[in-house]
A = this chain, B = another copy of it.
C-alpha cells in the first residue's frame, strides 16, 4: 500500500501529530519542521486517507448533488458550475441522479446521503414537505437551484419576470393574439418553472390590457414532442395566434417543427420565442430568454461552502438576472441565419 502518516513521521523524525499539523497548514509549527515534513511527504508521495481524516474530524469534505437528470442540458451545466467551485475548495461532489419518479422515491426512502456529506445541493426540484424535512434532518446546509424553500439557501432566476419580458417583446412587435405553450403545473418531477412562466405570460397580457384567452394556452409535456403537439393544437384553432411564447427552448423546437410542417413562415406567419437559451437555440435562430445556468450552480456551491464555514449564517436567496435574446424567430429585422 501507499505511505501512511506514520511513514512520513518517521522519515521526518517527528510525531504523527506534527505531520498532521504541518500538512494541513495549522499554526504553531516551526517553519523548519514544517519544511522537513513537507519534504518527507513529497518524497513518499503521501496523501492523507480521506476516510480516516473524515472519521476523525467529522468533516466529510463532500457535497451531495441531487439532480433529476444528469443527461439533460440544464442539469449538466449546473453541475459543471458547482463542480468547479467545489473542486477548487477540495470538496468532493457526490452525484445522485434520480432519473424518474421511482428513483426519486427510492432516494428519499433510503436517503443514501446520510452521514456522508457536509452539504446538499438540490437542482431544480420543488421539494414536498416531507422531502424538505428529510433533507433538513440531515442537519447540514441545503442549497437549492431553481427555486427556494424555507430554511434553505437558494439561487434561481425570476421565471415570472423572464416570461413577462418575452411576452412584452411580442407585444412590442405588435402582436395581440399571443399563444402560450407550456408544461403541466402538475409535473411529476414537480418543476416550478412551468407555473411561474405561465404566470408571467398572463401578467404581461394583463399589463397590456390584452384579454386572456384560455384557448390560446396549450399545455403539454416539457419536451420537444410536447411542444410539437401543443403547437399543433394551436394551429388547429379557427383563428390561430400570430405569436407564441413557449416556456422552454426544447418545447419551442417542437413548435418550430409543427409550424414548418404546416408550411407557415417564421416569424412572418407566426413568431416564436422560447426560454432558457439552450445550446442549440442560436443554431435554430430562436429568440429566447437567456438564464445563467453554470453560474447558478457555481453560486449555489459557493453558498454551501459559506454555510459550512459559518453554520450560523442565515439562508440567503440569490436571484440572478435573465436577458432577452432577440433572433429571427420573432423579429424579421434580425437577419436570418
Residues in chain A within 8 A of chain B (CB atoms):
2, 47-52, 54-55, 60, 69-73, 75-77, 79-80, 83-84, 87, 90, 92-97, 99, 111-112, 114-116, 224, 253-254, 257, 260-261, 280, 283, 294, 337
Contact = CB atoms under 8 A, between A and B. Distances in A.
A80 B67 CA distance: 11
A114 B48 CA distance: 9
A79 B70 contact: yes
Each complex incorporates copies of this chain amounting to: 2
B51 A80 contact: no
Given A97-B83, A261-B337, A283-B253, A71 B60 contact: no
22 contacts: A2-B114, A48-B115, A50-B116, A51-B51, A51-B60, A52-B55, A70-B76, A70-B79, A70-B80, A71-B73, A71-B77, A71-B80, A72-B76, A75-B76, A76-B76, A83-B95, A84-B97, A84-B99, A94-B94, A224-B283, A253-B283, A257-B283
B51 A257 contact: no
A79 B83 contact: no
Which 10 residue pairs are nearest across A and B when measured between Cβ atoms?
Answer: A71-B80, A71-B76, A51-B54, A76-B76, A83-B97, A51-B55, A71-B77, A51-B51, A49-B115, A70-B80
